[in-house]
Amino acid sequence: MGGVITTHQAKQRSAKRRLIEGSPVMKWLLIAISVIFLGTFLLLPLVNVFAQALSKGIRAYFQSLTLPESVSSIKMTLIIVGISVPLNVIFGISAAWAITKFKFPGKTLLLTFIDLPFSISPVVVGLMYVLLYGLQGQLGQWLDGKDIQIIFNVPGMVLVTIFVTLPFVARELIPIMQSVGVEQEHAALTLGASGWQTFWHVTLPSVKWGLLYGVILCNARAMGEFGAVSVVSGHITGRTDTMPLMVEKFYNDFNSVAAFSLSSLLALLALITLIVKTWLEWREFRDKTETKKPIG
């Protein structure tokens, strides 16, 4: 009897599956279209970066990575990222704290301004900074008199990178801190913790994964930023060239192996970003399904 029911149920299930999946021909046709599309536009370009970088052998690969221009561009990128990412982390935490823990007028406007950098073309960002700090403007003239140069120099490149990557950390933290609520912080304060203690031991641990997520996205974008940095850098080889800018220079000089070698480091960074991102999403998914299980 039981066996009859299970086969009946199994039949029903497979009938349902057929309904959802449609005919197998359709299924495999759709899968083929998707695989060809993603394969052509994602997998092939990725594999191609490494294939071209290694096309003249492993020695040529490391030789082009140790060229003085390459080394200085890697240093430049690390300096810019090392300044802009921590600043945006502090900003993101501060903005999320103000927005999620308190009520005040103009909150929506503030959120709009935090999102603004995502919708402005990087080239326009670079132009804005040239207009503000460049020598053709009054502020630029005044700063020049004080011997401070922002445009065609590192400070300008740091500033535009901060602009372009400003929303990432704040955008990740705000929804998480909103859903966590304020009860735990209130409890900590009632029990006699100071404001900073509450922040370090209650707030920060509850958002650490979201924070990490925001940081890796911010970092990836900061390392790869091209348009805005290109406009304000002045392209001084060995001094204001970041890795993406050096890739362009090598490409224009027909040094394909060097361009792809430097690119391979950036592609590797993108892969690491994807892996960490996937891992964090998997963690979140696991935590969610675990909390659904009854306790005990």
Partner 1 sequence: MSKRRNPLPGFGLSLGYTVMYLSVIVLLPLCALIIKASGLTLEEFWRWTTNDRALSAYKLTFGASFVAALLNSFFGITTAWVLVRYEFFGRRLLDALVDFPFALPTAVAGLTLAELFSPNGWLGKFLVPIGVQGVFSQLGVVIALTFVGMPFVIRSLQPVIESLDVEIEEAAAILGASRTRTFIFVIFPMLFPTIITGFALAFARAIGEYGSIVFISGNIPYKTEIAPVLIVMRLEEYNYAGATAIAVVLLIISFLMLALINWLQSWSQKFME
Residues 6+ apart with CB under 8 A from 210: 172, 173, 176
Of the listed pieces 28-36, 61-69, 206-214, 285-293, which binds partner 1 according to CB under 8 A? 28-36
CA 243 to chain centre: 17
Q: Considering the complex, what minimum distance in angstroms separates the CB of residue 234 from partner 1?
A: 11
Both tokens assigned to 282: 């998997």
Q: Which is nearer to partner 1, 83 or 296 (CB)?
A: 83
Neighbours of 110 (CB within 10 A): 14
244 lies in the site for partner 1, by CB under 8 A: yes
Shorter beta-carbon distance to partner 1: residue 3 or 237: 237
Which residue in the set 8, 10, 13, 30 belongs to the binding site for partner 1 (CB under 8 A)?
30
- Residues in 60-79 that interact with partner 1 by CB under 8 A: none
List binders of partner 1 among 196-215 (CB under 8 A).
198-199
Q: What does the block give as tokens for 67?
A: 């060229």
* Between 34 and 237, CB nearer to partner 1: 34
CB of 141 to partner 1, least distance (A): 14
- Cβ 42 to partner 1, closest distance in Å? 5
| 42, two tokens | 């994602």
Q: What angle do CA 236, 242, 248 make, to 5 degrees?
A: 80
Distance of CA 78 to the CA centre of its chain: 15
Segment 160-199, which members bind partner 1 (CB under 8 A)? 162-163, 166, 182, 185-186, 189-190, 195, 198-199
* Contact set for partner 1, span 213-232 (CB under 8 A): 217, 220, 223-227, 230-231
Instruction: Kindly state the smallest distance separating residue 240's Cβ from partner 1, in Å.
Output: 16
| Smallest separation, CB 149 to partner 1 (Å) | 17
Residues within window 82-141 making contact with partner 1, judged by CB under 8 A? 90-91, 94-95, 97-99, 101-104, 110, 113-117, 119-125, 127-132, 136-137
Cβ burial, residue 292 (10 Å; 0-12/13-18/19+): exposed
Pick 1 or 192: Cβ nearer partner 1: 192
Shortest approach of partner 1 to residue 292 CB, angstroms? Answer: 16
Q: Which stretch binds partner 1 (CB under 8 A): 6-14, 58-66, 173-181, 268-276?
A: 268-276
Contacts of 184 (CB under 8 A, 6+ apart): 202, 206
- The DSSP result for 238-274, as a single string, is TTS--HHHHHHHHHHTT-HHHHHHHHHHHHHHHHHHH
Could you give the maximum distance between any two Cα atoms of the chain, in Å?
95
Distance separating alpha carbons of residues 260 and 247, to the nearest angstrom:
7
Spatial CA neighbour of 111 closest among 40, 39, 176, 174: 174
Site for partner 1 (CB under 8 A): which residue of 6, 8, 9, 26? 26
